[in-house]
Amino acid sequence: MAKNLLDFTGQVVLITGGRSGIGQATAVAFAEQGAKVVIAGRSHATETLAKIKEVGGEGIFIKTDVSVSSDVQNLINEIVEKYGRLDAAFNNSGLFPVMNDLINQTEEDFQTIIDVDLKGVFLCMKYQIPVMLKQKTGGAIINCGSVVSVAADPGMAPYVAAKHGVAGLTKAAGIEYIKDNVRINMLAPGFTATEMTAGWLADPVFCEMVKGFNFAHRWAEPKEISGLVLFLASPMASFIAGSVFVVDAGQTAH
């Protein structure tokens, strides 16, 4: 029988923002492949932990605000204290955009988005990478951006700026640490049906507009995004670093 290259048995995986949506689907997928999964976020991931248990996996939750340096340091210290290692991380925490024209965006809204969606990724990598550097096996980090990391939509300038920044951070860190076998890449999902987007999808007019975004004429489901995260964390992605992977059914391809 061929070796299962998506086997994460014995590995420790961190997922920020794993309470629902893409983070939850990815956490469960890692657990199904044998990983010990750490969920980090500001709200307890009770449902995610239950789903992990259902598939026979092991998962714990550590309360963390990724925009606060001391919280992130504590998160990584707790993981190392409990498991002694960190093999992969999916930096998925993020806030939804405040919809408004740029001149009507407040400084507070801009700062809040930047603090979580951009600074949060920076802080996570800052404290994840040293742990991986100490391991002979290295590690993999996958940052979650968005299609607006490579394009732009109106009415969400701070969010677009933050997600473009995540792409830049990923590329810079990716080329810095690949020589040490720490692989850093970014996922750029198209519109996905999650708890965060449920309010938008409740509007029939918006639903029809979303269907026109891409060439599948539908939105993504979280499970359709999670597979690429597992691939990028696996040995099959050993020569990939500093890359941005768009998952958008062709939205940005034309």
Please give the chain's pLDDT, 254 residues, in tens.
347 779 999 999 999 999 999 999 999 999 999 999 999 999 889 999 999 999 999 999 999 999 999 999 999 999 999 999 999 999 999 998 889 999 999 999 999 999 999 999 999 999 999 999 999 899 999 999 999 899 988 999 999 999 999 999 999 999 999 999 999 999 999 888 787 777 877 888 888 888 888 888 988 899 999 999 999 999 999 999 999 999 988 888 88
Q: For the chain, how many residues are written?
A: 254
Query: Are the beta carbons of 21 and 47 closer than 8 angstroms?
Result: no
Q: Which fold has domain 12-247?
A: Rossmann fold (3.40.50)
| Greatest pairwise CA separation for the chain in angstroms | 60
Query: Are the beta carbons of 110 and 165 closer than 8 angstroms?
Result: no
Rounded CA-CA distance 188/216 in Å is 17
Closest by CA to 123, choosing from 174, 158, 74, is 74
CB crowding 175-202: b at 16 or more within 10 Å, else e? eebbeebbbbbbbbbbbbbbeebeebee
User: Where along the chain do its domains lie?
Assistant: 12-247
Residue 1 pLDDT: 33
Angle at 23 between CA 53 and CA 194, to 5 degrees: 110
Edge-first strand listing for the sheet containing 36-41: 58-63, 36-41, 12-16, 88-91, 139-144, 182-189, 244-247
Main-chain phi, psi angles of 58, to 5 degrees: -115, 130
Rounded CA-CA distance 26/19 in Å is 11
Residue 58 pLDDT: 97
159 catalytic? Reply is yes
Q: Which of 83, 127, 159, 177 is catalytic?
A: 159
